[in-house]
Amino acid sequence: MKAFEASDDIPLTALKIVIAGGFGVGKTTMVATVSEIEPLTTEEILTTASAATDSLAGVENKTTTTVSMDFGRITLWRQQLQLLLFGTPGQDRFWFMWDDLALGSIGAVVLADTRRLDDCFSAVEFFEDRGVPFVVAVNEFDTAHRYTAEEVQAAIELNPDVPVIMFDARAPYSTQQVLIRLVEYALTLSLRSSPESEPALAPPTPTSPTTTFDGNPHRAL
């Protein structure tokens, strides 16, 4: 794949990105799928002691959970970018780590599972409250019903400008496109807020259209 071809002559811009979302939504899988290095994971075996706090509804086959963070790296030589990926833990009791993981990031990918869409609401609110750019990436599990990006956007009551992307966390190219879309979106917001400043990166060519809000917000699909 040409996007991954190395060259010592190409200067790289390093960008920190947070991969966030609810429990069992695919954060660790996403980081591991696209990372060019052996990903750092902090997964531990689920035990009966966590049964009262970690609901397995919809993810009954899940046997491990992230207790600190995931870390991976991907270099996009064509875009002259090196993306540093930090995956957050999903359970509420580990949320005290989110501020530290988000510090210095250019944006976040909020993963969503349409079978448990309400699990992503807290992550969306977290980044909205802190003014951190984010996109919502719907991980299309094999057993999940397929919805349009517009339907998901309306269900979460997102700002009309926030991109919603349908993808497969197990597929490297699909995951890469989500990350590129986030960088594009963060750059657009940066240029919009500072029209006089020089962009750190060359204006990108959009890879997918931004979805629109249909004016009929609701909280359940």
User: Distances from the Cα of 69 to the Cαs of 35, 39, 83, 154, 208, in angstroms?
Assistant: 14, 11, 16, 30, 29
Confidence of residue 168 (pLDDT cuts 50, 70, 90): very high
In eight-state DSSP terms, residue 112 is E
Q: Is the pLDDT of residue 75 over 90?
A: yes
Looking at the predicted structure, is the pLDDT value of residue 167 above 70?
Answer: yes
Average pLDDT, the chain: 79
Distances from the Cα of 135 to the Cαs of 2, 43, 85, 105, 176, in angstroms? 25, 25, 14, 13, 13
Evaluated on CA atoms 207, 219, 54, 113, the torsion sign reads negative
Burial letters for 108-117: b for 16+ Cβ neighbours within 10 Å, e otherwise?
Answer: bbbbbbbebb
Tell me, what amino acid is at 1?
Answer: M
Would you state the pLDDT for residue 41?
77
Helix (H, G, I), strand (E, B) or coil at 127: helix
pLDDT in tens, 26-54: 999 999 999 999 988 765 454 444 444 55
Q: What six digits make up the tokens of 208?
A: 């997918």
For residue 34, what pLDDT is reported? 96
